[in-house]
Amino acid sequence: MAQCTTHRAVDTNTLVVLWDRTSFDYPLRRYLIRQPDELRVREDAISTSTQWLDAVRSLPDPQYHLAHPIEVIVIPNGDLLIATEKTFLRYGVGRTVKEAKDDYAASLLDYYEDLVEFDGRLSAQLQEDLDILRKSIVVQETE
C-alpha cells in the first residue's frame, strides 16, 4: 500500500493537482480546497498548487450572454497564464488573468459558432457540447 504524506493547502479555492512522478500526462487526482485543511496524498504523487479556479462571466460579442458563469482553471505558463476547462476543452492565453479569461471567452464563442454552423454534421461529443452550450449561451434577439 502506498505511503501517505501530508500537504497543507495554502488557500481556499486552490486546485491541488497530484501527478504521477513519471508522467505529467495523467493527473492522478485533483482536489479542490474549499476550506484550508490538511490533505493526505500518496507518496508516489507530487503535488502542485499553482493552479486555481476562476470563472468566465461574459462573452466578447454583446449579442451573446452566458446563462451562468463557466468555471475555468488558471494555469501559469512561463510569463503567461492559461485559462481552460475540461468540458469543451477550449483555452485562452494572456499576460493577466483577465486577458487569459477574455481569450478563453473568445475561443468558446468561436467554438459555439462553429458547432452551430456544422449542426447535424458533428461528432457525438461535439454535438453534445453544442447541446450543453445552447443551454449556457443566450442569444440576444435582434429587432
Partner 1 sequence: MPISVRELEGGLRKLDAERKDSKDAIYRVFSDDGTLIAKTKISHGAREVSKNLVGLIADQLFLYQKQLKLIIDCTWGRQEYLEYYETSPKRRS
Q: Which residues bind to partner 1, rule: CB under 8 A?
A: 24-25, 75, 77-78, 82, 84, 89-91, 93, 106-107, 110-111, 114-115, 118, 121-126, 128
CB of 28 or CB of 93, closer to partner 1: 93
Complex with partner 1: residue 43 or 128, whichever CB lies closer: 128
Q: How far is the CB of 62 from partner 1 (least distance, A)?
A: 17
Q: If residue 51 lies in a helix (H) or strand (E), which one and from where to where?
A: strand 45-56
Rounded to an integer, what distance in angstroms lies between the CA atom of residue 39 and that of residue 59? 36
CB of 135 to partner 1, least distance (A): 17
- Cell 487569459 maps to which residue? 100
CA separation for the pair 7, 16 (Å, rounded): 10
Burial of 80 (0-12, 13-18, 19+ CB in 10 A): middle
Question: Which three three-digit cell numbers place residue 2?
Answer: 502506498
**Phi, psi values for residue 106, rounded to 5°:** -65, -40
Total residues found in the chain within this entry: 143
**Cβ closest to partner 1, residue 19 vs residue 39:** 19
* Cβ-based nearer residue to partner 1, 39 or 99: 99
Q: How far is the CB of 35 from partner 1 (least distance, A)?
A: 28
Minimum CB separation of residue 89 from partner 1 in Å reads 5
